[in-house]
Amino acid sequence: MEKTSASRAFGGVQGVYKHRAKTTDCDMTFAVFVPPHNEGQKLPVLWYLSGLTCTHQNVMDKGEYRRKAAELGLIVVCPDTSPRGERVPDEPDNWQFGSGAGFYLDAKQPPYDRNYRMRSYIADELPDLIAKHFPADMTRQGIFGHSMGGHGALTLALGNPGQFRSCTAFAPIVNPMEADWSKPAFEKYLGADESDWRAYDACALVADGARFDQILIDQGAADGFLESGLMPWRFAEACAQAGIDLTLRMQEGYDHSYFFISTFMDDHLNWHAERLK
């Protein structure tokens, strides 16, 4: 693992790191904020997954999480959204597929199956690296994210029972099997058999029996993607039928941007801290 940068912030350290990942067969970059802590102390870990077109950098620059994370004693890990590199297949003119649009799944279709294995990277390989190099208590993990990253947070929490104690999302894609900006990507990554898609769709996972104790979702009511891409009411219906305790907050006047995310970031950090005590 190579440290590419480190900066002091609110008594802690915001670092950026790079390593050669086995699961994605390429170099991967990720960010970690470690709050101030006592020597030998182990801290809970909160994963933030970014959305389409993003990298680890977006939330670092615009998410405004460090002050509250330092106060609460949370390590915040911000992975990249997809594999990258000259040998990684991509569609540079398509912002909904390829680089920046890994959808936190393990692709099954060539040529994408070699590199686009973000689910395994986030769930298995990167946690091992975090446990090895940071003061992390891996028995206390939470996960959240935005848009495509909100989809990733929900599906990883629902699909990995026991790994995460808490889960929240900002404007998640809750039903990507039907959403206009994810359905074409799913077919390219996973093939035409939609039964293979269900493990990466929060609504389908709940319908198929996946459960999580409590979930918080914030959704901007003025989000331009609300009707065709996000459709949070579908997940609310699935959770109601399954008896999952979902808090869905429609925030009037807010859009899909980091102005929205940063406004409610403290609420989400407090939610996770309470459940990761």
CB contact at 8 A, 33 and 65: yes
Integer angstrom CA distances of residue 48 from 74, 110, 116:
12, 28, 19
Active site (annotated) includes residue 19:
no
Given 80, 106, 201, 223, which residue is catalytic? 223
Given 147, 166, 268, 272, which residue is catalytic? 147
Active site (annotated) includes residue 137:
no
Given 56, 256, 268, 272, which residue is catalytic? 256
Active site (annotated) includes residue 218:
no
Burial class of 142 by CB neighbour count within 10 A (0 to 12, 13 to 18, 19+): buried
Residues that are catalytic:
147, 223, 256
